[in-house]
Structures are given as C-alpha cells and as structure tokens.
Amino acid sequence: MNVKRTRKLGLAFSALSLLTLTAACSTSPKNYKSEGEKFLESDDLAKSAGYHYKYALCDQPQSIQVGTQYACIATDNDDNSWEFIIEITGDRELTVVTGKVVK
C-alpha cells in the first residue's frame, strides 16, 4: 500500500467515526446486522471514505446495547477486502469504529 493511499484511508476513517446511521424501527440483533451491511454499501459512506463498498457481510451483534461492537467485511471498488468494526452508539445508531484493508 502506498503512502498516499494510507493517508487517504486514515483521513476517511477519521471522518467515518463521526457518521451514524438510523437503523430500522424494530431493533433486534438481526436488524443491526442487516443495517450494518446496508450502511457499508451506502452512497453516503462511499462519499466519506472515497471507496464504494459491496458484498458487505456483518456478524450479528450479541446484544443491542449501546457500546456493543461487531465485525463486518466488505469489498471496495478496487476489489480489496476490508474488515470493519461497527459500534452501536445510540438508539438505532451505528458508527464505524475501525476499517482496514486485509487483502
């Protein structure tokens, strides 16, 4: 990975830590799983990160309590695989805590 891309990714994920998503009205671990996947594939995230993610797949969180974190994976528009940690930060709110290229 070159320095320019690393710098861009660092800036993108600094901004992502402030983004939230309103999940579906019914709040269950299954809903947060699917909403995390939709969030990673969203155009809003693509604008902030500079990458469009596809094939997102999230683990189902163990609970829906604020502070619960769960893992997701996705593929960017350059076909790199990413691992993300998403945190439930409020009632029907999600925040990307970390994201890194794994391939």
Asked whether 86 and 58 are in contact (CB, 8 A), the reply is yes
- The residue ranges of every structural domain in the chain are 3-101
Q: What is the pLDDT of residue 26?
A: 54
**14 has a pLDDT exceeding 50:** no
Q: What is the pLDDT of residue 45?
A: 86
Confidence class for position 103, pLDDT limits 50, 70, 90: confident
**69 has a pLDDT exceeding 50:** yes
